[in-house]
Chain A
Amino acid sequence: MRYKKIVTDFFILMALTTNISFITSPNPYELVITVATNLAATILKIGEGRVLSTEMLASSLVADLHLIPALFLFFSGDPKEAIGLAQGALAANIISVIISIIETILSAFTEEE
């Protein structure tokens, strides 16, 4: 069992789930946790030398760049726009999870070798 992968995958999934929960029921705590988990996932992807790591980092950065402005918009009185941005980040989160799954399958094949 690779603990590093558990931690990275945990944050990738957590970023997705908290984002969905913020979109369905907007709440300041949910949004802060979404941003925090997304940033954690981005940090963990820095310097990853795996096959699709650049795509993973790029998708994570996209999510961050949606969520950080969403955070400031939400607290400056424009929650509608913040939710819109969070939905954009959700797309990036879903792509992140898909890439993570593809990479897991690819690494499983190489391990078998």
Chain B
Amino acid sequence: MPKLKARIRRKLKKKREPRLIEIYETRFIETLKEFRIPLMMLHTAITVGTIGYMIISGGDFINSFYMTVITIGTIGYGEVVGGSDTLIGRIFTSFLALMGIGVFTTSVTVIVRIFFKEDIINLYRAIKMLREIENLEGHYIICGYDKTSAWLASTLKKRKIEFVVVESNPQALKYLQEHNIKYFITEEPYKRSVLLSAGIKNARGMIVNLGEDTKNIAVIVTARLIKPSREDFYIYSFASTDGTAEKLEELGANKAFIPSKLLATRVAAYIFHTGSAFISDLFDRIAFGEETDIDILELHVEPGSPLIGKKLKDIDLRRALKVTIIAIRKPDGYLDVTVSGETVIEEEDTLIIFGQPRNLKKAQKILLEETYRILG
């Protein structure tokens, strides 16, 4: 017995950090508690009335219940229960009406108020959303929702990439709903429980845009502690200066962008290519994901791949899969842009393939599947 007691005690003592969904569920249950008093008041009034009329009428339950409801509900169709038109019956009805009507109206008002209180509906929605987020895989997490994040969200939506927005400012909720953001969490993103609830374990990457370097650092560090591998989980952050960008990258960000610098570079690119605006703009738009009809794919040739040793004209991707290999990046970083049908694919090459996104996806799938099939 003492052993069992100790074991139970240990089990109960072993506390873990509550998940966000559990916190919301507890809050939801707490709100439900508010229903208890009005329901109990209503229940007591109906029970007292029904039993009272049953005693007066000699056990007629259906009519007693009906008489109670029409009395406390201020309907008052008449004295439908046997014995209710007697002296005792009328005294009982008077007392029941005096107390019951007040109880009924108060209870119904309180119940309706709790039910339509914004909290309970929002909480229910949040719980439902968190359950859906738990099933996401390969999605992105956007921390902070401002104009930049809104543009980013719209681009990801176009590419049908799932994402979860985490924003602590409750005022942003209005914009998140206006912009039809499917998944969002209105909590502080630097909390471990919040990032876990945003599905960080199954996510592909995260974009940190909280407007302040200190906040960005807090989120990046928390995220890297959960997902330490830079290859498995990409973190892109915004930074205010070059120095901060370096620090953010050292702390765990795969890449830190300086918004003003990025904008200037892009404008400069237009200035440099004024004469050949279409092509530079096309590459620009492809690179920035604005061109949804054309895309570029990088495909790494793994050791043992069936592509090794083959000439480009032999695999003829252009005809078979309607995509074109425009360049090959060699393992030493050299970019061969003069590829022809006679070019031979070597181990550890990276093929730069150009084509429509749908065909590129197909090509990637087929080529990778073929590789895995051969590698066993």
Contact = CB atoms under 8 A, between A and B. Distances in A.
Given A44-B36, A47-B33, A32 B51 contact: yes
A36 to B, nearest CB: 4
Q: From DSSP, what is the main secondary structure of chain B's interface residues?
A: helix
Interface residues of A, number: 23
Contacts of A113: 9, 12-13
B43 interface: yes
Contact of B32 (A36, A47, A106): A47
A40 interface: yes
A110 B59 CA distance: 48
Contacts of B312: none
A28 interface: yes
B contact residues, range: 20 to 34
A109 B59 CA distance: 47
A49 B30 contact: yes
A109 B26 CA distance: 22
Nearest to A28: B59
Interface string A42-56: 011011110000000
Contacts of A3: none
Given A29-B51, A29-B54, A36-B43, A46 B33 contact: yes
A71 B61 contact: yes
Nearest to A75: B61
Interface string B27-64: 00111111110011001100100110010000101100
Contact of A32 (B29, B39, B50): B50
B113 interface: no
Nearest to B42: A43
A53 B192 CA distance: 28
Contacts of B319: none
Interface in A55-113: 71-72, 74-76, 106, 109-110, 112-113
Given A32-B61, A113-B9, A46 B32 contact: yes
A16 interface: no
B211 to A, nearest CB: 37
A36 B303 CA distance: 75
Contacts of A32: 47, 50-51, 54, 61
B282 interface: no
Contact of B29 (A29, A39, A47, A109): A47
Given A36-B43, A112-B9, 16 more contacts: A28-B61, A29-B51, A29-B59, A32-B47, A32-B51, A36-B47, A40-B40, A43-B36, A44-B36, A46-B39, A47-B29, A47-B36, A72-B62, A76-B62, A106-B12, A113-B12
Interface of A: 28-29, 32-33, 36, 39-40, 43-44, 46-49, 71-72, 74-76, 106, 109-110, 112-113
29 contacts: A28-B61, A29-B51, A29-B59, A32-B54, A33-B51, A36-B43, A43-B36, A43-B40, A43-B43, A44-B40, A46-B36, A47-B29, A47-B30, A47-B32, A47-B33, A47-B35, A47-B36, A48-B29, A49-B26, A49-B29, A49-B30, A75-B62, A106-B12, A109-B5, A109-B9, A109-B12, A110-B12, A113-B12, A113-B13
